[in-house]
Amino acid sequence: MSDVNKVVLAYSGGLDTSVIVRWLQDTYGCEVVTFTADIGQGEEVEPARAKAEAMGVKEIYIDDLREEFVRDFVFPMFRANTVYEGEYLLGTSIARPLIAKRLIEIANETGADAISHGATGKGNDQVRFELGAYALKPGIRVIAPWREWDLTSRETLMNYCRERDIPVDFASAQKKSPYSMDANLLHISYEGDLLEDPWAEPEEDMWRWSVSPEAAPDTPTYIELTFEAGDVVAIDGERMSPATVLETLNKVAGANGIGRLDLVENRYVGMKSRGCYETPGGTILLKAHRAIESVTLDREVAHLKDELMPRYASLVYNGYWWSPERKMLQVAIDDSQKVVNGVVRLKLYKGNVILAGRKSDDSLFDASIATFEDDAGAYDQKDAAGFIKLNALRMRIAAGKGRSPL
């Protein structure tokens, strides 16, 4: 007799998680609760309900988490200008702590003693889901079928469905894209198949959210983003919710060929992995946020943020969103954003995000001091001589002792 009575499964309604529902029922003899999150993946989530019901699932959760996702996860991450390994905007990574949080909430609501997910034993997502779950409910049991079963391919999964009358559209499953894809409001990712060869160029018809830069309009698109406390609150003067901001930016950026990335990244589990990503709106957000910070942040604060960012990015990538160190960094980052207010104007053209202007009532840019014209005594250039000599003092002393840098 299994010691698992009820398990909450992160359920998409696709082939893998449909198999997992039946596998959990067969292997553990337990009741399965399904949880399907709408985080802007661009596909209908409601059909998952009918599929779960057809397999005897009694408790079915389908939640619209788009606003929470952008407001409480994407925006806080972008306040830090977060980029992993110089390029990746962490679209998959940042969605996992929200899903883990909701899995635990549902487990508490339903009295479940375990949660389950469809992440494989090779990837980062298993780590992200489980670190989050353990941080939020230390005694929870986690069942990861891909680490237990002997189903190793799409064909074996489909055979399992046939043998157990699992309601799957086999024709659709066979026509499915050859790539392993993950999508949410921030990005869509592609892995596997052709992309497993780092020398192979991605096929043009793989991309879903953006036109190629060559096919983008021949005239630029101008856009203005209004920031309050580090977050975009309006586009071209129209106030919008966080999710609507990102949806709008995805559309305008994708139409201008912006946001494509081809990356070989270092997974937390140790292997290198090649993936392609489309992050149209996020690419604009990063450029605009750094632009408004350039005029509003103190120099040392800005530099310290840049020093902390790689650590913050690693915490998000590796699954430590709910860790005390990430929360500590977030407090410092958010405090710096109190003055990050103003408007950034951008020119979007054939894959490029070009800064066209920035203004802020909190700007530290003082034209009367920085001007190349007559500054009317606002800055005494003679002061620079002493400043330079003092900063050169240690090198002058060393050189005087014969420690030439040549």
Which residue among the candidates 63, 180, 314, 363 is catalytic per the annotation? 180
On whether 132 is known to bind a ligand per the annotation, the reply is: no
Task: Please give the pLDDT value at position 259.
Answer: 98
The fraction of the chain above a pLDDT of 70, given in percent, is 98
Which residue among the candidates 22, 66, 102, 125 is catalytic per the annotation? 125
Which residue among the candidates 16, 63, 72, 334 is catalytic per the annotation? 16
On whether 180 is known to bind a ligand per the annotation, the reply is: yes
On whether 308 is known to bind a ligand per the annotation, the reply is: no
What are the CA-CA distances from residue 120 to residues 116, 145, 225, 399, 406 (Å)?
Answer: 12, 8, 39, 59, 55
Q: Give the pairing type, strands 141-143 and 180-183.
A: unpaired
180 noted as active-site residue? yes
Long-range contacts formed by 212-219: CB under 8 A, 24+ apart: 212/257, 213/257, 213/350, 213/351, 213/352, 214/257, 214/350, 215/257, 216/255, 216/256, 216/257, 216/349, 216/350, 216/351, 217/255, 217/256, 217/350
What are the CA-CA distances from residue 171 to residues 12, 55, 158, 174, 225 (Å)?
Answer: 18, 20, 11, 5, 44
Q: Give the pairing type, strands 114-116 and 260-266.
A: unpaired
Question: Residue 95 pLDDT > 60, yes or no?
Answer: yes
On whether 13 is known to bind a ligand per the annotation, the reply is: yes
On whether 277 is known to bind a ligand per the annotation, the reply is: yes
Domains of the chain listed by start with CATH number: 6-66+92-176 (3.40.50.620), 183-359 (3.90.1260.10)
Task: Please give the pLDDT value at position 171.
Answer: 55
Read off the pLDDT of each residue in 139-148 and give the average, rounded to a whole number: 96
On whether 189 is known to bind a ligand per the annotation, the reply is: yes
Decide if 45 contacts 35 (C-beta within 8 A). Answer: no
Task: Please give the pLDDT value at position 170.
Answer: 59
Interval 312-345: pLDDT, tens: 999 999 999 999 999 999 999 999 999 999 999 9
Interval 169-194: pLDDT, tens: 655 555 567 899 999 999 999 999 99
Which residue among the candidates 22, 96, 260, 358 is catalytic per the annotation? 96
Read off the pLDDT of each residue in 293-314 and give the average, rounded to a whole number: 98
Interval 119-139: pLDDT, tens: 999 999 999 999 999 999 999
Task: Please give the pLDDT value at position 177.
Answer: 78
pLDDT class of 152 with cuts at 50, 70, 90 = confident
Task: Please give the pLDDT value at position 164.
Answer: 85
Interval 204-222: pLDDT, tens: 999 999 999 999 999 999 9
Task: Please give the pLDDT value at position 44.
Answer: 83
On whether 273 is known to bind a ligand per the annotation, the reply is: no
Read off the pLDDT of each residue in 63-74 and give the average, rounded to a whole number: 98
Interval 224-261: pLDDT, tens: 999 999 999 999 999 999 999 999 999 999 999 999 99
Decide if 329 contacts 311 (C-beta within 8 A). Answer: yes
Provide the terminal-to-terminal Cα distance of the chain, rounded to the nearest Å. 77
On whether 265 is known to bind a ligand per the annotation, the reply is: yes
Residues 286, 249: Cα–Cα separation, whole Å: 12
| Look-up of token digits 């977060």 | 82
pLDDT class of 14 with cuts at 50, 70, 90 = confident
Q: Where are the alpha helices (DSSP H) in 137-279?
A: 154-163, 170-175, 242-255
323 noted as active-site residue? no
pLDDT class of 147 with cuts at 50, 70, 90 = very high
Q: Which residues pair with 111 in a beta bridge?
A: none
